[in-house]
Amino acid sequence: MSEAPVVAVLLDLVGSRQLEQRDVIQLEIEAGFASLAEIVPAIEPLHPTVGDEFQAVYSSLPAALRAALHARLSLPDGVDCRVGLGQGEIRVIGLGIAGSLQDGPAWWRARTAINRAHELEDGAVSTARSWFVGPDDPKLEEAAVNAYLLARDALIAPMSARDRRLVLGTMRGTSQKTLAEQESISQSAVSQALRRAGAGALAAGTRLFEDVS
Percentage of the chain with pLDDT > 90? Answer: 74
Tell me the pLDDT band of 95, cut-offs 50, 70 and 90. low
Considering only residues 51 and 73, tell me which one the structure prediction assigns the higher pLDDT: 73
Q: For residue 137, what pLDDT is reported?
A: 73
Answer for the pair 44, 96: CB distance below 8 angstroms, yes or no.
Answer: no
Of the pLDDT bands very low, low, confident and very high (cuts 50, 70, 90), residue 65 is very high
String of DSSP letters for 95-145: EETTEEEEESHHHHHHHHHHHHHHHHHHTT-TT--EEEE--SS-HHHHHHH
Q: Average pLDDT of 105-134?
A: 97
Q: SS3 of 173, please? A: coil
CA distance 26 to 19: 10
**CA–centroid distance for 27 within its chain:** 18
Domain ranges in the chain are 2-156, 158-213
- 80 pLDDT band, cuts 50/70/90, is very high
- State residue 3's pLDDT score: 64
CATH topology of domain 158-213: Arc Repressor Mutant, subunit A (1.10.10)
Alpha carbon distance 204, 170 (integer Å): 12
18-22, 29-33, 163-167, 177-181: segment of lowest average pLDDT: 18-22
Check residues 119 and 23 and name the one with the higher pLDDT: 119
Q: Is the pLDDT of residue 94 over 70?
A: no
pLDDT at 154: 98
d(CA 173, CA 4): 32
Band of pLDDT at residue 143, cut at 50, 70 and 90: very high
pLDDT at residue 88 greater than cutoff 60: yes
Q: Is the pLDDT of residue 87 over 60?
A: yes
User: How many Cβ atoms are within 10 Å of 106's Cβ, its own excluded?
Assistant: 28
- Determine the pLDDT at residue 99: 60
Judged by phi (left if over 0) then psi (alpha if -120 to 50, else beta), residue 178 lies in alpha
More confident residue, 87 or 93: 87
Q: What is the pTM of this model?
A: 0.91
In CATH terms, 2-156 corresponds, of 3.30.70.1230, 2.60.40.420, 3.40.50.720, 3.40.50.10490, to 3.30.70.1230
